Amino acid sequence: MDQERARPLEGVRVVSIALNVPGPLAVARLRSEGARVVKVEPPTGDPLAAICRAWYDELHEDVSIEQLDLKTTEGSRAMRALLADADVFVSSQRPASLARLGLDDSSVEHLWWLNVVGELAHPETPGHDLTYQARAGLLGESMPISLFADVLGAERAFAGVLLLLRQPRG
């Protein structure tokens, strides 16, 4: 990357709990534009690291990784401390899961918040690249070799954060 280029997100602090592909890919784009990123992973880590370590490492370059059990008091307290110092919160969980973790609208109202979900009309329904490609009729005789929907979702999430940064927080 050209170090002389102005990075428009310099000074923006992002905390992410987004796992797998779309969230980490979107957050990597935010980082490449100057954002400082802390990613919180569960004690078992991000499944992407086990599936494709090289890509996981690339997406998490210059990202601080914290492993926290958000279901515990200690983990929840540590997460709140991270969010207190953040500008943007990126997640990729169903709203009910976030609420169980105490990460609902009222707990992150001081932040810009983007939650990557499968469908806005049905945010509680899990979504995965393979199911979206199948629904669109893009699957043939074999498994797809690209994560087309995940990559497009990441680009929409990146653009979504850029739009959020122009709005009031919350």
Report the pLDDT averaged over residues 7-32.
94
Counting Cβ atoms within 10 Å, is residue 86 exposed (0-12), middle (13-18) or buried (19+)? Answer: buried
Q: pLDDT band at 140, cuts 50/70/90? A: confident
- pLDDT at 6 (0 to 100): 80
Q: How far is CA 105 from CA 16, 44, 69, 130, in A?
A: 16, 26, 20, 30
Q: Mean pLDDT over all residues of the chain?
A: 88
2: pLDDT strictly greater than 70 = no
Amino acid at 168: P
Query: Do residues 127 and 53 touch, judged by C-beta distance below 8 A?
Result: no
Considering the entire predicted model, what is its pTM? 0.84
- pLDDT at 141 (0 to 100): 79
81: pLDDT strictly greater than 80 = yes
Query: What 3-state class would DSSP assign to 88?
Result: strand
Q: How far is CA 53 from CA 46, 60, 68, in A?
A: 10, 10, 20
Q: How far is CA 145 from CA 98, 141, 148, 162, 169, in A?
A: 31, 12, 9, 29, 38
- pLDDT at 3 (0 to 100): 58
- pLDDT at 13 (0 to 100): 97
- Interior CA angle at 17 toward 118 and 67, to 5°? 145
43: pLDDT strictly greater than 90 = yes
Percent of the chain with pLDDT over 90: 54
Strand partners, 38: 15, 64
Q: What is the pLDDT of residues 86-130, one digit of tens each?
A: 999 999 888 899 999 999 877 888 899 988 887 777 777 777 767
- pLDDT at 142 (0 to 100): 75
Q: pLDDT band at 30, cuts 50/70/90? A: very high
